[in-house]
């Protein structure tokens, strides 16, 4: 099965972390309350300090610094502080951050549209295979 009784290696940890983060983003409302915004901001800002893979955490912190300095790039014209203002902007930002990691690791990029993100993390495909 996907999970064993052994401590997670970096890949299992990463898959589990992305599952939590994308799922939280999938359920983040269109118009989040001030408390939801500040909590989501705190969650993501904490990761460079506590993500349990040191080199991953460092790279993420550098990415945050870069987007704050340069104000995002290409598909990700948002930084984290702006992204938490709505569900769609948070999902797009997170997809961009994940693609940044994908590129660094030589993995394929994911198409960051609301419909593709919703299919993967919220509703499943239209053919009902995940129902």
In 10 A of CB 87, how many CB atoms? 19
C-alpha span between 45 and 23 (Å, rounded): 17
What are 70's two structure tokens? 């340069």
Do 82 and 66 touch, CB atoms closer than 8 A? no
Ranges within 6-65 binding ligand FAD (CB under 6 A): 10-11, 14-15, 17-18, 22, 47, 51, 55-56, 59-60
What are the beta bridge partners of residue 73? 76
Q: Give the contact letters, 56-85, x = binds to ligand FAD (CB under 6 A), - = no.
A: x--xx-------------------------
Ranges within 79-118 binding ligand FAD (CB under 6 A): 95, 98-99, 101-102, 105, 107, 110, 117
Shortest separation between residue 37's beta carbon and ligand FAD, angstroms = 20
Give the CA distances from residue 77 to residues 3, 20, 25, 69, 112, in Å, rounded to whole numbers and listed in that order. Answer: 36, 23, 18, 12, 13
Report the interface residues with ligand FAD, using CB under 6 A. Answer: 10-11, 14-15, 17-18, 22, 47, 51, 55-56, 59-60, 95, 98-99, 101-102, 105, 107, 110, 117, 120
């Amino acid at each position: 099965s996907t999970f064993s009784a052994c401590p997670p290696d970096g890949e299992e940890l990463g898959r589990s972390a992305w599952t939590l983060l994308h799922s939280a983003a999938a359920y983040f409302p269109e118009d989040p309350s001030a408390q939801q915004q500040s909590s989501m901001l705190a969650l993501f800002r904490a990761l460079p300090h506590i993500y349990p893979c040191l080199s991953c955490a460092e790279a993420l912190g550098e990415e945050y610094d870069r987007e704050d300095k340069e104000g995002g790039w290409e598909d990700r014209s948002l930084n984290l502080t702006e992204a938490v203002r709505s569900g769609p902007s948070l999902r797009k930002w997170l997809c961009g951050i994940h693609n940044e990691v994908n590129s660094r690791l030589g993995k394929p990029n994911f198409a960051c549209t609301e419909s593709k993100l919703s299919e993967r993390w919220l509703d499943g495909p239209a053919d009902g295979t995940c129902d």
